[in-house]
Amino acid sequence: MLFHVRMDVALPHAMPADQAAELKRVEKARAAELQQAGTWRHLWRIAGQYSNFSVFDVASTDELHDLLSTLPLFPYMRIEVTPLVRHPSSIRNADF
């Protein structure tokens, strides 16, 4: 199943810079791992925001939830999830 996921990150202003840097470092490594596995299919930054649009390919909403909760920045995210299905007018049959 494909899911469109918007993630908005809001780190506390009082968080020490070194702690924020370490969180971002381990988040980047986890994101790379999931992309290499093919689970995190697309990752797009939203210009001017600490946010992204992503597409995940997982078996279920439970799997998506479990995966998202492994992200180091998860406690600081507002997440919106939209399940995706192929549009009957799409000419791109290879990307599902």
Q: CB–CB of 1/47 below 8 Å?
A: no
Domain ranges of the chain: 2-84
Q: What class is the 2-84 domain?
A: alpha beta
Query: What is the pTM for the complete model shown?
Result: 0.90
Using alpha carbons, list the distances in angstroms from residue 70 to 14, 30, 48, 73: 23, 8, 25, 9
CA dihedral of 17, 22, 51, 80, whole degrees rounded to 10: -120
pLDDT tens per residue across span 32-79 = 999 999 999 999 999 999 999 999 999 999 999 999 999 999 999 999
If phi > 0 it is left, if psi is from -120 to 50 it is alpha, else beta; for residue 38 that is left
